[in-house]
A and B are shown apart, each in its own frame.
Chain A
Amino acid sequence: MGISRRQFLQRGALAGAAIALSGKPGEASVDAPELRTKGLKTTTTICPFCSVGCGLIVHTKDGKVVNAEGDPQHPINQGALCPKGGALFQIANNENRLQKVKYRAPGSDRWEEKSWDWALDRIARRMKETRDRTFKKTELNKKDNKEYVVNRTDGMAFFGGAGLDNEECYLWSKFARAMGVGQLEHQARL
């Protein structure tokens, strides 16, 4: 059947060690280029994809991300990344990223660009109108035919989000319940 990959690598390591013992220690060549990330600002982050929680180092230059690679100090991934985490650079640098607020009017076939202020004011207005129209102070329980205080906004639902930060999830939870939204769900249900 041949040797397993594990056996091959183990033998390779032994062979490498033998060679190292017999020769002189290696020296960096004077022609070797410096790391292109030398001197750049670095920040650490955690991968936004699966839930292993691998660490990455992000290098930035002039306010732009120029590199994202595995963080060798992170105990879980020790510098390694899978293809998705390895492509994090392309999340930061991508012409398909949404950069402007877009609005689609009822029945329209296109997006219109809008300002944040315009959109947020209009969204707040929609939320308030819906809440005022569909707020239920009480609800009838069919099992005992009694009215119970429920203080619930039944006309809207809030979805999201397993990709949000903890602090964002917390504020979303707090805001949703303050709005009387009982229909609060996200990816965990699927």
Chain B
Amino acid sequence: MTNHWIDLKNSDVIFAIGCNPAENHPISFRWIEQALDSGAKLISVDPRYTRTSSKADIYAQIRPGTDIAFLGGMINYALQNNMIHEEYVREYTNATFIVSEQFDFQDGMFCAFDDQEKSYDLKSWAYATDADGRPKRDMGMKDPKCVYQLMKNHYKRYDVDTVCAITGTPKEDYLKVAKAFCATGRPDKAGTILYAMGITQSTHGSQNVRAVALLQMLLGNIGIAGGGVNALRGESNVQGSTDYGLLFHILPGYLKSPEFDNVDLKAYLEKWTPKTKDPKSANWWGNTPKYTVSLLKAWYGDNATPENDFCYDYLPKRMGNYSYVKIMEKMGKGELEGLVCMGMNPAVGGPDSVAARQALGKLKWLVTADLWETETSIFWKRPGVDPKSIQTEVFMLPAASSIEKEGSISNSGRWAQWRYAAVHPLGDSRSDLHIIDEFYKRIKALYLKEGGAFPEPITKLSWNYGTGHEPDVHLVAKEINGYFTKDMTIVDKDKTLEFKKGDQVPMFKYLQDDGSTVSGCWIYCGSYTKEGNQMARRDASDPTGLGLFPKWSWCWPVNRRIIYNRASVNPAGAPFNPKRPVIAWDPLEKKWKGDVPDGPWPPMKDDKEGKYPFIMLPEGHGRLYALDMKDGPFPEHYEPVESPTRNLLSRVQSNPVVKVPSNVSSDTGKFPIIGTTYRVTEHWQAGAMTRSLPWLVELVPDMFVELSETLARQKGIKQGDMVKVSTERGSIQARALVTSRLKPFNVQGKLIEQVGMPWHFGYAGLATGDSGNVLTPTVGCANTGIPEFKAFLCNIEKGGKAA
């Protein structure tokens, strides 16, 4: 989230699209309700009338996979009706930037598309630059090649009638949403957009998020209290696990994992360190060398020296896409020997469950660490297989629960909160910290004793967390924060700071690129300082009244609660909304008051030291027009890969950059119904953590498939009947839940039905049932690979064996 949970109370309009907070983030409703009590409005846009919809002032039905049409229509509505925050757009976004002459868009395709490779040449979308290499700008926003005009033209095609024909939304509902939310374009109004998997799980998922951000930038809603682009994340520490780089393409702190042609540290830093010629741009990623070297020092300690490139060579270099779906494909072909699965259940949580389970059977060995038996750890004796035919060696390690160990987790609002062990791990279970430590120590010992393939990355790794039964978690946290490797004197403006070797680094601006600092994750620098563990703070004071709680736990970066908050003030430093100031410039004391400012520099207008607000981009301006998205600088509506209709907007049916695999089908004769998956309050994710808790099983004991009253009548299905749902991937059986929450979509005059279902169930645990993901496709987002779980085609029939 750019903002955080309690900040929801500051909103004037809360727009929930592709998410269902009442169901899946129930306590967030405490803050939504507080906003509503203050007169705010809640908008719920969802294929189903959900629990969130039932609390909303405005509900609008949307066909799965058509979010860009919906949001694009709102972008057009805001532009056509002059509802944008003009000063914000002109000063803080790249609306005024001029794009290269080459750029073009025709009937669904951007320029420079390679039909063979199915990819665009992103260079053709670059800014037009002057002789100094700086982007050209037109402050009047009239130049036909300026971003503002290009964007206006692009979204002119998203008129309300076209949009509603695509999304299936009744026109009067759509206009209610557009009118209510675009009204937050006023400087004294705050609109927040909440989103989750309904937005991300699509072959154009990242463009869906771009559309959210684009709309918010036009309305001046980023950086303000009650505003923002707010992802409602799904797991208690998925924020932290992402922050620490547990994805193939990143290292901790969102540094890029090295590619094969980053042949040495110099080449790596050259490729990934953005540059700017504009002194008003803070270009914070320009500090990449400091964060990279500090990470390498954390990993290789004294072994990492300037002479050996700080052991950069030891890092694996990628050549290709190693995302989840690709790994499972490889596994299915028998090309992987082993998998170590720490608290993850791919047999239920990933798409195409049947293929995933079969793939596990091709492994030589599998290690799992969980609190319970999962569908993954017992895949070899799942219903319908003969264990004798599966040769995988399986190690099922018992893991300690969250209250049986000590450490921190980070919520969706970036708050890293420390938690404590209440009791020892149950039975012989052990923390993941202990397990990982044991893996490392034993492998290192084997390599020291026997040698083998390139042992140095393992044997020279710095791993000093005390001599206890498991690593001292405080030592780990301190390494993450970082410390000085030698005595240092740092001059920071008019202050001279002295640090001793071993002192914790107080904040990431003091990290160095010469090996004098260690930091395991630069964004967490400041979380564990010489003042102690900031994540464990429990001071519930809220001096601004905005709900920032600056001394409760610690959030990244540098405890800044609302990021991009320099966009909440005008270029002179005065809050756009004096009633809810996040920061304000005090011209007498020459400093910012309020939240931690997103850069301490004076306001933007200051000739000498002012800086633009969007500090993480080299040009310092928010990108209405993106430069690095694989499928286009502007979000463009395409149909999901499995779609019941042709694309009304252009001749391009689905995302042109996404290669369509063989296991999808748009045969509406076979699969005439839209399918989608979702979650319920009472269960969680792949179900291992809830389906063995009797209290929760009592509340939701069974898998079910939800369908509309009209579809039920058409198929002769009654509430509680067993039904069978099929897709190109497979079929499942479950009880029918006939409801008025689902209604068919009006797609160009034709009524298309939909069914929805939770995906929590599987064959392990106390409460069992068929897995929703047996049905879902692996095809995913052009930029992130996240599968299109939310929009596929299926059929439903009455019958099937009783559970």
CB distance from B461 to the nearest CB of A (A): 5
Which residues on the A side are within 8 Å of B766 (C-beta)? 96
A97 lies within 8 A of chain B by Cβ: yes
Q: How far is the CA of A166 from the CA of B417 in the complex (A)?
A: 10
Q: How far is the CA of A73 from the CA of B424 in the complex (A)?
A: 25
Q: Check if A159 sits within 8 Å of B346, measured CB to CB.
A: yes
Q: Check if A107 sits within 8 Å of B388, measured CB to CB.
A: yes
Q: How far is the CA of A171 from the CA of B436 in the complex (A)?
A: 7
* Interface 9-mer from B91-99, B138-146, B677-685: B677-685
Residue of A nearest to B691 (CB): A96
Q: Check if B453 sits within 8 Å of A131, measured CB to CB.
A: yes
Of the listed residues A84, A162, A165, A188, the one surrounded by the most CB atoms of chain B closer than 10 A to its CB is A165
Q: How far is the CA of A100 from the CA of B392 in the complex (A)?
A: 20
Q: How far is the CA of A179 from the CA of B338 in the complex (A)?
A: 13
* Interface 9-mer from A12-20, A25-33, A52-60: A52-60
B601 lies within 8 A of chain A by Cβ: no
A182 in contact with B248 given A81-B27, A97-B372, A168-B432 (CB within 8 Å): yes
A11 lies within 8 A of chain B by Cβ: no
Report how many residues on chain B are interfacial, defined by Cβ distance under 8 Å: 166
Which of A51, A139, A182, A188 makes the CB contact (< 8 A) with B322? A182
CB distance from B345 to the nearest CB of A (A): 9
Q: Which of A34-75 contact B (CB under 8 A)?
A: 41, 43-55, 58, 60, 63-65, 68, 73, 75
Which residues on the B side are within 8 Å of A65 (C-beta)? 403, 422-423
Which residues on the B side are within 8 Å of A64 (C-beta)? 423
Q: Mark B715-747, 1 if CB is under 8 A from A, else 0.
A: 000000000000000000000000000000000
Which of A83, A100, A189 makes the CB contact (< 8 A) with B681? A83
Q: Which of A142-186 contact B (CB under 8 A)?
A: 148-153, 155-186
Q: Check if B260 sits within 8 Å of A157, measured CB to CB.
A: no
Q: Check if B344 sits within 8 Å of A151, measured CB to CB.
A: no
CB distance from A126 to the nearest CB of B (A): 5
Of the listed residues A54, A103, A188, the one surrounded by the most CB atoms of chain B closer than 10 A to its CB is A188
Q: Check if A84 sits within 8 Å of B681, measured CB to CB.
A: yes
Q: Mark B744-755, 1 if CB is under 8 A from A, else 0.
A: 000000000000
Say what secondary structure dominates the interface of chain A: mixed
A98 lies within 8 A of chain B by Cβ: yes
Q: Check if B439 sits within 8 Å of A124, measured CB to CB.
A: yes
Q: Check if B439 sits within 8 Å of A127, measured CB to CB.
A: yes
Q: Mark B508-519, 1 if CB is under 8 A from A, else 0.
A: 000000000000
Q: How far is the CA of A104 from the CA of B390 in the complex (A)?
A: 11
Which residues on the B side are within 8 Å of A96 (C-beta)? 372-373, 692, 765-766
Q: Check if A178 sits within 8 Å of B480, measured CB to CB.
A: no
Residue of A nearest to B341 (CB): A159
Of the listed residues A65, A81, A157, the one surrounded by the most CB atoms of chain B closer than 10 A to its CB is A157
Q: How far is the CA of A183 from the CA of B319 in the complex (A)?
A: 11
Q: How far is the CA of A43 from the CA of B35 in the complex (A)?
A: 32
Q: Check if B246 sits within 8 Å of A184, measured CB to CB.
A: yes
Q: Check if A44 sits within 8 Å of B420, measured CB to CB.
A: yes
Q: Check if B317 sits within 8 Å of A151, measured CB to CB.
A: yes
Q: Check if A166 sits within 8 Å of B237, measured CB to CB.
A: yes
Residue of B nearest to A83 (CB): B682
Q: Which of B421-445 contact A (CB under 8 A)?
A: 421-424, 426-433, 436-440, 442-443, 445
* Interface 9-mer from B166-174, B615-623, B652-660, B781-789: B781-789
Q: How far is the CA of A76 from the CA of B327 in the complex (A)?
A: 38
Q: Check if A169 sits within 8 Å of B237, measured CB to CB.
A: yes
CB distance from A71 to the nearest CB of B (A): 9
Which residues on the B side are within 8 Å of A94 (C-beta)? 692-693
B337 lies within 8 A of chain A by Cβ: yes
Q: How far is the CA of A95 from the CA of B193 in the complex (A)?
A: 42
Q: How far is the CA of A139 from the CA of B387 in the complex (A)?
A: 37
A156 in contact with B695 given A101-B397, A126-B393, A186-B247 (CB within 8 Å): no
Q: Which of B540-589 contact A (CB under 8 A)?
A: 540, 542, 547, 549, 552
Which of B245, B343, B443, B524 makes the CB contact (< 8 A) with A124? B443
Which residues on the B side are within 8 Å of A190 (C-beta)? 324, 349-351, 786-787, 789
Q: How far is the CA of A149 from the CA of B314 in the complex (A)?
A: 10
Which residues on the A side are within 8 Å of B340 (C-beta)? 123, 127, 156-160
B394 lies within 8 A of chain A by Cβ: yes
A6 lies within 8 A of chain B by Cβ: yes
A189 in contact with B784 given A98-B398, A122-B395 (CB within 8 Å): yes
Q: How far is the CA of A139 from the CA of B438 in the complex (A)?
A: 31
Which of B244, B371, B453 makes the CB contact (< 8 A) with A173? B244
Which residues on the A side are within 8 Å of B236 (C-beta)? 46-51, 53, 162-163
B30 lies within 8 A of chain A by Cβ: yes
Q: Check if A159 sits within 8 Å of B344, measured CB to CB.
A: yes
Q: Check if A166 sits within 8 Å of B428, measured CB to CB.
A: no
Q: Mark A96-119, 1 if CB is under 8 A from B, else 0.
A: 111111111111110100001001
CB distance from A79 to the nearest CB of B (A): 10
Q: Check if A123 sits within 8 Å of B439, measured CB to CB.
A: yes
CB distance from B532 to the nearest CB of A (A): 16
B59 lies within 8 A of chain A by Cβ: no
Q: Check if B403 sits within 8 Å of A170, measured CB to CB.
A: no
Q: How far is the CA of A116 from the CA of B442 in the complex (A)?
A: 12
Which residues on the B side are within 8 Å of A54 (C-beta)? 27
Which residues on the B side are within 8 Å of A48 (C-beta)? 236, 401-402, 409, 689
Which residues on the A side are within 8 Å of B370 (C-beta)? 98
A126 in contact with B446 given A98-B372, A182-B322 (CB within 8 Å): no
Residue of A nearest to B350 (CB): A190
Which residues on the A side are within 8 Å of B365 (C-beta)? 123, 126, 130
Which residues on the B side are within 8 Å of A41 (C-beta)? 422
Q: How far is the CA of A190 from the CA of B5 in the complex (A)?
A: 23
Residue of B nearest to A168 (CB): B432
B107 lies within 8 A of chain A by Cβ: no
A141 in contact with B260 given A53-B409, A97-B398 (CB within 8 Å): yes
CB distance from A74 to the nearest CB of B (A): 8
Which of A119, A139, A172 makes the CB contact (< 8 A) with B342? A172
CB distance from B107 to the nearest CB of A (A): 31
* Interface 9-mer from B123-131, B471-479, B499-507: B471-479
Residue of B nearest to A155 (CB): B337
Q: Check if A151 sits within 8 Å of B454, measured CB to CB.
A: yes
B299 lies within 8 A of chain A by Cβ: yes
Which residues on the B side are within 8 Å of A53 (C-beta)? 5, 236, 409-413, 415, 417
Q: How far is the CA of A26 from the CA of B683 in the complex (A)?
A: 40
Q: Check if A175 sits within 8 Å of B436, measured CB to CB.
A: yes
A173 in contact with B395 given A50-B684, A99-B429 (CB within 8 Å): no
Q: Check if B313 sits within 8 Å of A149, measured CB to CB.
A: yes
A135 in contact with B453 given A107-B390, A150-B317 (CB within 8 Å): yes
Q: Check if B693 sits within 8 Å of A132, measured CB to CB.
A: no
Of the listed residues A49, A166, A175, the one surrounded by the most CB atoms of chain B closer than 10 A to its CB is A166
Q: Check if B398 sits within 8 Å of A160, measured CB to CB.
A: no
Q: Check if A51 sits within 8 Å of B233, measured CB to CB.
A: yes
Q: Check if A185 sits within 8 Å of B238, measured CB to CB.
A: no
CB distance from B166 to the nearest CB of A (A): 27
Q: How far is the CA of A98 from the CA of B389 in the complex (A)?
A: 26
Q: How far is the CA of A129 from the CA of B281 in the complex (A)?
A: 50
Which of B238, B336, B427 makes the CB contact (< 8 A) with A187? B238
CB distance from A12 to the nearest CB of B (A): 15
Q: Which of B221-245 contact A (CB under 8 A)?
A: 232-245
Besides A178-B458, A185-B327, 16 new A-B residue pairs in contact (Cβ under 8 A), listed by A number = A43-B421, A44-B538, A45-B402, A53-B412, A75-B542, A80-B27, A105-B393, A128-B447, A150-B260, A156-B337, A167-B408, A169-B237, A170-B244, A172-B436, A174-B461, A188-B241
Of the A-B pairs whose beta carbons lie under 8 Å apart in the complex, a sample of 20, sorted by A's number, is A43-B421, A44-B419, A104-B393, A124-B442, A128-B443, A128-B447, A134-B337, A148-B263, A149-B317, A158-B339, A160-B340, A164-B343, A165-B240, A166-B243, A172-B436, A174-B298, A174-B520, A177-B315, A188-B247, A189-B323
**8 A-B pairs with least C-beta separation:** A99-B427, A53-B411, A165-B407, A160-B342, A161-B343, A162-B235, A98-B398, A124-B442
